């Protein structure tokens, strides 16, 4: 007597174990990535209780798309800019300088102004940027 087993083909594939494995791997990946990202500890300075009464005159250097320079709205050359910043820095060592480069201006012009500020030992330099989405 022989018993014959009927071989029937599989109509479907059970993907549940494969999905379970994928979910476990996804959870492990999420846990490992968040565990490896650690914040830097930074001791921020505390503001003083007294508001500052010093009002510094801010120098704004604008770089237009065509390469022209403006200092507080007045057009000038790089040599004139250097002489005016030198004179202003001699009066006020903590003079703030703001650089506002047009998005279409060449990057080397912005770098030239930053280098000029470093050459003149102007430490209080800022770059104007636009908010994302505006």
In a domain? residue 55: no
- Crossing angle between the packed helical segments 107-119 and 78-91, to the nearest 10 degrees: 40
The 10s digit of each residue's pLDDT in 121-134 is: 888 888 877 765 55
For residues 48-62, one letter each, b for 16 or more C-beta atoms within 10 angstroms of the residue's C-beta and e for the rest, the string is eeeeeeeeeeebebb
Number of domains in the chain: 1
In a domain? residue 73: yes
The 10s digit of each residue's pLDDT in 70-119 is: 888 888 888 888 888 888 888 888 888 888 888 888 888 888 888 888 88
In a domain? residue 37: no
The 10s digit of each residue's pLDDT in 55-72 is: 778 888 888 888 888 888
Separation of alpha carbons 48 and 97, rounded Å = 24
In a domain? residue 92: yes
Q: Which domain range does residue 101 map to? A: 68-127
Q: Given a cut of 90, is residue 47 above it in pLDDT?
A: no
């Amino acid at each position: 007597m022989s018993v014959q087993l009927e071989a029937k083909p599989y109509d479907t594939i059970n993907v549940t174990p494969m999905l379970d494995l994928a979910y476990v791997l996804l959870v492990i990946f999420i846990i490992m990535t968040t565990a490896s990202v650690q914040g830097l500890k930074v001791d921020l300075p505390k503001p003083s209780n007294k508001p500052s009464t010093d009002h510094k005159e801010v120098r704004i250097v604008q770089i237009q798309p065509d390469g022209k320079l403006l200092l507080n709205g007045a057009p000038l050359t790089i040599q004139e800019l250097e002489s005016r910043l030198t004179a202003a820095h001699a009066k006020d060592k903590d003079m703030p300088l703001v650089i506002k480069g047009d998005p279409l201006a060449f990057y080397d012009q912005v770098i030239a102004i930053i280098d000029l500020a470093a050459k003149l030992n102007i430490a209080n330099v800022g770059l104007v940027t636009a908010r994302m989405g505006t």
